Amino acid sequence: MASFHVIYQALAIWTLIISLCGAKPTTAASETCDEIAKAINNNVGYPGEPGYDKENRDYYNSGLSALGPACIAFPTSAEDVSSIVKILGKREGVPFAVKSGGHSPNPGHSSVSGGVLIALREIKGTKFDKAKSIAYVKPGGHWWDVMKALNGTGQMIVGGRLGVVGIGGYLLQGGVSFLSGQYGLAADNIVEYETVLANGSIVNINQERHKDLMTAMRGSGSQFGIVTKFALKTYPVSKYWVGLRTYNCTREQYLEALQDFMANLANHPKASTLLPGGSPGLGNNALLGSIFKGLGSLSSLAETFGSKPKDVPKVQRDSTKSQDMMAIESIMGTFFGTHLFDYEKAGAQNYMDRSAANSTPSLFPVPLLYDGCKPPSDAFGKKFAQLPMISEVGSIVDYATTISVSNQIFEYFSTPTSFRTFTLPIIPHRPYFIGEVEDLFYNVSMSWLPKLKSIGSLGLVYQPFPHSFGKHAEASGGNAMGLKGSDHDRFVLEIPGVYISSADAPTMQAWGKDFTDRLAALVKDITVKSKAEGKIVGEYNPLFMNDAGTDQEVIGSYRDSQKFAALQKEVDPSGLFAKRAGGYKFATLV
């Protein structure tokens, strides 16, 4: 009954989205497009034109191309953006969206049906001011472009972990980085936003002049204006260690070590990892394994899935780098190729019989990263240090190279995708809590898998979210999530769904919702029981916008959202950004 309700809700959302897909542009939308074209030197594309079609295809979630804007504006400066915003302001009822990298898989966020898409790809470039240690980053392009520009300066910014990811959405929503253990969320390292406000004015928003607005803009997405330039703090980062340690232990030992690592990131801030948990699904392991191993089958995979090569930057291979690159690729390839196969086996056993999987030793390869030449043995926490490690391979690379690995992985990879997230407290008196989460994930996922019409992958990725993020946030003046240094440690789940047929979209949405609903119930139950035993479970666990799904109540989960809702209304009294562009909005609260 519960699952019927979940499917029904998801179907309703998707029916609404599909009904909007490819909607014929209204006369008002067409006139708005023409007026914008006149104002910005005809840098506007219409359906059927190469510029339009290329941009409309360039989404991480290939399903978004079906929405189809009436036109796509390609501003080249903040002044162009200002002209567009002023025109939109006069034209009530014409919807619009702002797109930086197009990596949000959520329909209507950086995509729009029948309205105006403002694609920021031509507002691009990174400049480094050595004297101030500040990087000025424009929202067009991808993280690889930024890291490449900073490479060789000895300084880096807190930015995307994968080179292919877009810049604007990542920074505005919060942004977790390999450097976050040391410096916090990316948004908490922004010192100035050059922003086009709803009235078309171009304002440099900074801490000195706009204290409250700065706090509200850090981690609240696209609610206050269109950002045309970010000024970010930089930090000395030169050599970076990327490795794979393989442990021979039981699943229970592995998961407890993982939880220990996440619980203690504040104590070993230079360490980092990308930690896929389970990933059940017919073909998905083969799919991911093939991709990461770079078997040369990428083109055929792309053809099979009907996707087109994406316009993402290629890794520049020079003779000195290629060895590093190959080392990292083989490390990541081994991890994704081996780990997921092994893990699914363990997971499948676990699904039938958790105790057997938990007591049978198995191999657990873990990709690890460290800001420095060689991580100390306990760099990833005491419990990992105590596990029997059977091998370690590592390579010292520059940071930009680490970020660029993904360019090759995702170059040909574009399928329908969904995102979802959940923030969980680290519960020190339950060292196997992460195992409970993963058991639930398997049980829920296995029950949804047979409902898919095509093949799909139901994924789970763990991201540490320690209390130190709150310390960094407070030191910068606070962020919209309301993180504080006195908070408990947390971890954030990224729950991606990858599938082949768009017909599976409602099922994927329903699966994610079912899982997070049951997680909420599990945490509630544990909290009540812990309280009865006199033990504390951290209760403020705001959702992480970067990884959230369309229907998730991200803004409502922030502790000061009512205060920011009032500020948003003050800055955007006509509701231009609040009501006419998609994304997560404070306006839904008032």
Ligand X SMILES: Cc1cc2nc3c(=O)[nH]c(=O)nc-3n(C[C@H](O)[C@H](O)[C@H](O)COP(=O)(O)OP(=O)(O)OC[C@H]3O[C@@H](n4cnc5c(N)ncnc54)[C@H](O)[C@@H]3O)c2cc1C
Spatial CB neighbours of 382, under 8 Å, sequence gap ≥ 6:
260, 264
Residue 403 interacting with ligand X (CB under 6 A): no
Residue 222 interacting with ligand X (CB under 6 A): yes
Q: CA-based Rg of the chain, rounded to a whole angstrom?
A: 23
**CA-based angle 350:356:360, to the nearest 5?**
105
Q: Give the chain's length.
A: 590
Q: Which residues are 136's β-sheet partners?
A: 127, 231
Q: How far is the CB of 243 from ligand X (least distance, A)?
A: 19
- DSSP for 155-209, please give it: EE-S--SSTTSBSHHHHHH----TTHHHH--GGGGEEEEEEE-TTS-EEEEETTT
Phi and psi of 205, rounded to 5°? -90, 120
Out of 169, 181, 276, 506, which residue is the one contacting ligand X (CB under 6 A)? 169
Edge-to-edge strand list for the sheet holding 497-499: 417-418, 497-499, 456-458
Q: Of 4-12, 47-55, 173-181, 296-304, which part binds ligand X (CB under 6 A)?
A: 173-181
- Identify the burial level of 338 via C-beta atoms within 10 angstroms of its C-beta, where 0-12 means exposed, 13-18 middle and 19 or more buried: middle
Residue 205 interacting with ligand X (CB under 6 A): no
**CA-based angle 381:384:387, to the nearest 5?**
150
How far is Cα 25 from Cα 129, in angstroms, rounded to an integer?
Answer: 44
Considering the complex, state which of residue 109 and residue 310 has its C-beta at the smaller distance from ligand X: 109
Among 450, 449, 456, 490, smallest CA distance to 470 is for: 490
Q: Which long-range contacts (CB under 8 A, 24 or more apart) does 316-322 make?
A: 316/148, 321/401
Size of the site for ligand X (CB under 6 A): 33
Binding mask 499-538 toward ligand X (x if CB under 6 A, else -) reads ----------------------------------------
Residue 159 interacting with ligand X (CB under 6 A): no
Considering the complex, state which of residue 273 and residue 285 has its C-beta at the smaller distance from ligand X: 273
CA 363 to mean position of chain CA atoms? 29
Residue 181 interacting with ligand X (CB under 6 A): no
Q: How far is the CB of 76 from ligand X (least distance, A)?
A: 14
Q: How far is the CB of 13 from ligand X (least distance, A)?
A: 17
Residue 161 interacting with ligand X (CB under 6 A): yes
Q: What single letter denotes the amino acid at residue 575?
A: G
Q: Of 19-27, 157-165, 389-397, 562-570, which part binds ligand X (CB under 6 A)?
A: 157-165
Binding mask 263-302 toward ligand X (x if CB under 6 A, else -) reads ----------------------------------------
Q: Of 220-228, 300-308, 394-402, 503-511, which part binds ligand X (CB under 6 A)?
A: 220-228
Residue 56 interacting with ligand X (CB under 6 A): no
Residue 219 interacting with ligand X (CB under 6 A): no
Residue 227 interacting with ligand X (CB under 6 A): yes
Q: Of 222-230, 253-261, 312-320, 394-402, which part binds ligand X (CB under 6 A)?
A: 222-230
Name which of residues 296 to 315 contact ligand X (CB under 6 A): none
Q: Which residues are 362's β-sheet partners?
A: 249
CA 442 to mean position of chain CA atoms? 22
Name which of residues 96 to 155 contact ligand X (CB under 6 A): 97-104, 109-110, 120, 139
Considering the complex, state which of residue 346 and residue 397 has its C-beta at the smaller distance from ligand X: 397
Among 114, 103, 85, smallest CA distance to 139 is for: 103
Residue 328 interacting with ligand X (CB under 6 A): no
Q: Is 37 helix (H, G, I), strand (E, B) or coil?
A: helix
Considering the complex, state which of residue 63 and residue 175 has its C-beta at the smaller distance from ligand X: 175
Q: How far is the CB of 101 from ligand X (least distance, A)?
A: 3
Out of 116, 167, 481, 493, which residue is the one contacting ligand X (CB under 6 A)? 167
Q: How far is the CB of 491 from ligand X (least distance, A)?
A: 14
Q: Could you tell me if 492 and 465 are in contact, meaning their C-beta atoms sit under 8 angstroms apart?
A: yes
Q: Could you tell me if 277 and 462 are in contact, meaning their C-beta atoms sit under 8 angstroms apart?
A: yes
Q: Could you tell me if 25 and 48 are in contact, meaning their C-beta atoms sit under 8 angstroms apart?
A: no
Residue 546 interacting with ligand X (CB under 6 A): yes
Q: Of 11-19, 161-169, 308-316, 478-486, which part binds ligand X (CB under 6 A)?
A: 161-169
Out of 158, 176, 242, 449, which residue is the one contacting ligand X (CB under 6 A)? 176
Out of 203, 226, 366, 508, which residue is the one contacting ligand X (CB under 6 A)? 226
| Token duo for residue 237 | 């980062």
Q: Which residues bind ligand X (CB under 6 A)?
A: 60, 97-104, 109-110, 120, 139, 160-162, 165-170, 172-173, 175-176, 221-222, 226-227, 546-547, 583
